[in-house]
Amino acid sequence: MIEAKYESALANRSEPSNASILIREMNGRGMIDVRGAAADRKFLAAMKSVLGFDLPKVPRSSATWGDVRALWLSTDQWLITCNGTKADELSAALVAALGGLHSLVVNVSDMRAVIRLEGEGVRETVMKGTSIDLTDGDYPPGTVRRMRFAEIAALLHIVEDNVIEIYVFRSYADYVWEFLLKAARKGSEVRLFGNRG
């Protein structure tokens, strides 16, 4: 019997040494893509029965309970994150609870790489690669936003004021990692408005 060997997208990358913020891969995160209509009460109730909390319905928001989190992706799409070891079990539970309801649940834990940025200046660092402005007051902790980042599609989650997680498709992880190392290079910091550091 052969044993499965796990290797995340950025497994062979070492800690960056010349960055003004912390940059690291969050490997082993469970991710489940859920499709269902936000207007479908039965769907919402079935989701709640498994998750223990309501799916967020406000665009670009998220909800958290314990180590399970639901990120709003669209009016009929959410990304549920959890501990990677629980993803199969949780998605099976969701499928079972949703039964014959019109929905689609897919365990996509391997589809994306998650890169976590921490520290003073994370928002400005991300703004070097995207046209959105994370300092204009529209992005409190908990905000989720899909966007174009450094030429590719990415999903942004503001975890705390100075903590941002970027979800990118696995194949682009290396590219985004390199971009972030360059953008966060010491000496290239940008401090906007009152935040002059």
Residues that bind another protein (CB under 8 A): 1-9, 12, 18, 27, 33, 35-36, 59-60, 73-77, 102-104, 106-112, 124, 127-133, 135-136, 145-148, 150-153, 169-175, 178-179, 182-183, 185-188, 190, 192-194
Nearer to another protein by Cβ, of 33 and 165: the residue is 33
Asked whether the CA dihedral 15, 22, 136, 167 is positive or negative, the reply is positive
Question: CB of 149: closest distance to another protein in angstroms?
Answer: 9
Q: Which is nearer to another protein, 65 or 119 (CB)?
A: 119
Nearer CB in complex with another protein: 66/133:
133
Q: What is the 3-state secondary structure (H, E, C) of the chain?
A: CCCCCCCCCCCCCCCCCCECCEEEECCCEEEEEEECCCCCHHHHHHHHHHHCCCCCCCCCCEEEECCEEEEEEECCEEEEEEEHHHHHHHHHHHHHHHCCCCCEEEECCCCEEEEEEECCCHHHHHCCCCCCCCCCCCCCCCCEEEEEECCEEEEEEEEECCEEEEEEEHHHHHHHHHHHHHHCECCCCCCCCCCCC
- Residue 146 — left, alpha, or beta (φ > 0 → left; ψ -120 to 50 → alpha)? beta
User: In angstroms, what is the minimal distance from the CB of 158 to another protein?
Assistant: 14
Q: How far is the CB of 6 from another protein (least distance, A)?
A: 5
Nearer to another protein, 36 or 142 (CB): 36
Nearest distance from C-beta of residue 98 to another protein, angstroms: 11
Shortest distance, position 131 Cβ to another protein, whole Å: 4
* CB nearer another protein, residue 161 or residue 178: 178
